Structure 1
Amino acid sequence: MQEIIIPFHILVSARTPQGYPLRATCAGRSAEVIMPPLAGATITGNELGEWLFPAPIRQLLIETAREAVDHKARMQLRLEVAAPELTVLPWESVALSSGDQCWQPAIRDDYTLVRVSSRSIHPPPPRRVAGPLRVLIAVARGHDAVADALGEALIEPVRAGLLVVDRLREATADEIVAELAAEPRHILHLIGECEQPPRQAARMRLGRAVTAGELAEFLVGIDDLRLLTVAGSAVESCIGFASSLHHLDGRAVVALPNLSTLAQARWSTACYHALASGEPVDIAVTLGRAELATLQESWSAPQLYLAPGGEQLFRPGEPPIAPAPPEAVRAVRATTSVQRKPRFAPITTSVGAPTKRIQELARRVRLRPQIIALLIASLVLILLVSQVINLPGGSTPTPTSVVTPTPPLLLDPIRIPVPTLMPTPVP
């Protein structure tokens, strides 16, 4: 049975002279508030919660949560940040506290938090996977230690038959695309250095500096791939690269900015294990954050960029649907009748429209004198040759004059058929 997800969309628009417009929508209802700019260099999760959930939006959230409980559904907070200066804030650490209770949706499986793009993206359908999920770890030069720790952490799900992990050392963009095209891969884990020069797009060092647009263009046609994980050291560059990659490519993208080696390995193990078990990607990322929370690591660092409705990435245990063989496809009989051509088409002349029979008869009459003349010439030639040849045992014959017969009248003008409007029978 498919679970019910109730989306709660929050849009943070660009700054106006009055402040930042906030608009929350859910099930045909909405709430709008204008919030002042956030102050302070370091902003805590409670401050983000108070700013993101003012009284009107919080009331709408509480009403929606009660309806979700009544329908045995779960909620999904979809955050769309249109203000560029606010995208780098740790919105995953948002919290609401009341006494000893603290509500943190990013680590709760009944209130998952995802980031959505401003562009309308149609998510790819869930991929049927008969065997284990195949993960490709592409490591840029100088990041082998992180890849080694990640490989060791994934040994347990590999032994359990849930994952197949391949590693590409000193990976370049061309080598990554070649590996993805050679064998089906479901998850691409990128480990490298992210950077963002002034007034330029964020990029990642994969042999050379590769922008998100270039990587998205390289991945066109890789149908099995459903999740891309971007692990980089620089926070702003990693977030910018991951968000642009999701915006341009449309697949689910997870950003792991500035995570330690141990934290990245533990998060990947929990997340990929959940995906191989058939969990939706927002639940899998949430379980990975919860694993980091138990380690006292920066659990709010992982950011999930997801298209609405694209939570289910894989369907493990279901074989892919094979295309129909050519012999199974039959041609459909045409229902329209084919118009047959007439046996002959009348030809318009100055006299009228003679039939085909009259035309053929006239053609035979015109050819008959030529044939008769050819026969007469052949007979004359035979007679002349017979007068010259000496017969064996005899004397030379005296040449005699050959009388050329007068050819009879070849054509009778009276009996030549003349084209008329009506055909006349030939006697």
Structure 2
Amino acid sequence: MHGLESLLLNVLFIIIFLLFIPLLLEINSKMLFNPTKKNWIINFSASLGIILCILFPFSIIDGYIFDLRWVAVTIGGLYGGVTTIILLTGLTIAFRYFLGGVGVGATVLIGIVLMFILIAIRKMFRKSSKQKKLLVGTTVSLLAGVWALFVSIIIFDISFNAFFVFLYLILTFMTTLLVIYIYEAFQESQLINQRVIKAEKMEIVSHLASSMSHEVRNPLAVVRGFLQLMQVTTVSEKKQREYLSLSIEEIDRATDIIQNYLTFAKPSPENAVRINIEQELKRAINIITPLANINRIHIGTKLESCFILGDPQLLQQCLLNITKNCIEAMPNGGELFIETYKGNGELMIVISDEGEGMTKEQLSRLGEPYYTTKGREGTGLGMMAAMQIIEMMSGKLSVTSRVNEGTNFYIRFPTIEKQA
């Protein structure tokens, strides 16, 4: 039973240092480590697993021990390169030599043979399917185990009982099979997730391109029509000015659509500065007031001075997109109320309207690039861009709405101290 306990402890070391730690690195390596650092950490982890296996062996006779070190060398070598194979083999031999005993010679013979085998098959192993990797890995690991037993019996005249031989080989086989299977299953899962994410991104890009193409084509067609009309017919100067004014409006509309699309695609703000939110809100209100007056909408405010970090131009675009949506949601007039308050290191901006409101289904789809409640007049790009800007500025947006009662937009930003 002492031999079983020692070998099971070796299995635990291999699972922790050659499976669990590499999986953690695979999950977090993009955020924390570059590939070179990751490889060195994996090599160090495998080395630690080998050392612990040697330190907790099953002693056959004084100075001659057995453990699952060759399973660790096999797995680490198959997934590493030539450098890793040489490193792990050299470490195994060096550490076993440091401990001393008659088993040092056996370690040298087994290690050198296994090293050349691993170097010879490493490329084939990496290109193989999961099933073939399981077959190759377990076969090499078993061959290393059998070779270790053979060297012990033939060269060093060590005797083993049948139970130990069976236990040693079955644990060698099962441990190698388990580690390779779980690692490969994880890699397959990661690959599938990456493909799903890529497919989702491509679908969004496709919808964006389709929506933008459709919406940009409309104003360009209007402009082209007016220009053709002015070219082939004689129109009065008054009509020419009217046509030109309408053409400019349509070009501005196309520009807004493209700008919203570019805002969504932009990864981060380029001009992050201290922003006085009271000043920016007043500026946005001044811009939106003519549109509000035309639609018989009163704008009420309750603002206080507070500073956040971000891009003023992007913030203006975000505020204008949201307030414009609120105004368009009140075709029969009403009140647009903007309020700010701060607390617990956060600024809250509340933008409320008395408009048509949204259903739960419409609210859940708010911000989708190809979804709008405005029918043919909207693209969904404006709200999508506003949500993207808020996220880029480390903010959070939540929305509540009731049909025929209105909509409330709650925007949270982390505050900063006023510049001295």
Provide the TM-score with structure 1 as the length reference.
0.21
Greater Cα radius of gyration, structure 1 or 2: 1
Greater share of strand: 1
| RCO higher in structure (CA 8 A, sep ≥6) | 1
Greater share of helix: 2
Provide the TM-score with structure 2 as the length reference.
0.21
